[in-house]
Structure 1
Amino acid sequence: MKTSHALLLALATASFAACARTPDAGHATQMRTELHKRFGAADIDVDGRLTRDEARGKMPWVYRNFDAIDSARAGSVTIQQIEAYAMTQQRGTRQR
């Protein structure tokens, strides 16, 4: 499913730092590159931030989790915020 793939992509990309120490670091790098590519395609005004509307079509996982990622309620999110949120989600999944 496209949505599941987007979630897995975001989670895998966000764990890049942790994965960089594993034998599968090449895969993590590819996933991070893909996330940055998708972010760039969604960032219509090229300001380094995604609004909810920008995320809607190109990054559905970000769109669905926008309020949680935008914890400061700024109305937009950065790639770093997306990666950080995905990492916390992945850690929570691993702990269960």
Structure 2
Amino acid sequence: MKFLAILAAAMAMLMAISNAGAQTPQPEAATPASIRSAPANPDADVPPALRRPLRDASSGPILLRYQAMQKLKRRFDEADTDGNGALNRDEARKAGLGFIDKNFDHIDTAQRGNVNFEDLKAWIIQRREEARSR
């Protein structure tokens, strides 16, 4: 089915090219120099079915990691019921952040009894690097 759509688009493009040659050409002198020297849109003659969309700069792994980190930050802030900027084990457990509760001792490297978001980010980055090195 996709092949038929591409074939139909290619046929339409060939017909457009052959029809363009049948028209009488305009003298070049009648066209202003600024227009003659301007590069034509390379996709103007390509049928929409054959055009490849430009890669969207607003997507990709970096953006996905950023969005995931922002979501985690919101959940972290919501779990911080006393508003001190850090979570203790009980706050993490009550908020449903079981991975923080489960790994609390590894995240709390300073052994303060609470973890702030920077501690959590450092632990996540460390885990990601360990996973890559395997």
Task: Settle same-fold status: TM greater than 0.5.
Answer: yes
- Superposition TM-score, scaled by structure 1 size: 0.73
Higher relative contact order structure (alpha carbons within 8 Å, sequence separation ≥ 6): 1
Q: Larger helix proportion, structure 1 or 2? A: 1
Q: Which runs of 5+ in 2 are unaligned?
A: 1-59
Task: Indicate the residue corresponding to 1:41 in structure 2.
Answer: 78
1:9-20 → structure 2 map (5 Å cutoff) = none
Q: Which runs of 5+ in 1 are unaligned?
A: 1-22
Query: Segments of 4+ in structure 1 off by > 2 A?
Result: none
1:6-62 per-residue CA deviation (whole Å, 9 max, x = no partner) reads xxxxxxxxxxxxxxxxx4222122111101111011101111000000011321111
Q: Percent identity?
A: 34
Alignment RMSD (CA, Å): 1.4
Task: Indicate the residue corresponding to 1:30 in structure 2.
Answer: 67
- The alignment of Structure 1 onto Structure 2 pairs a total of residues equal to 75
Task: Indicate the residue corresponding to 2:113 in structure 1.
Answer: 75
CA distance in 2, matches of 1:71, 1:29: 24
1:47-92 per-residue CA deviation (whole Å, 9 max, x = no partner) reads 1000000011321111100001111110000000000011111111
Task: Indicate the residue corresponding to 1:3 in structure 2.
Answer: none
CA distance in 2, matches of 1:83, 1:91: 12
- Superposition TM-score, scaled by structure 2 size: 0.53
CA distance in 2, matches of 1:32, 1:60: 17
Structure 2 counterpart of 1:47, one-letter code? N
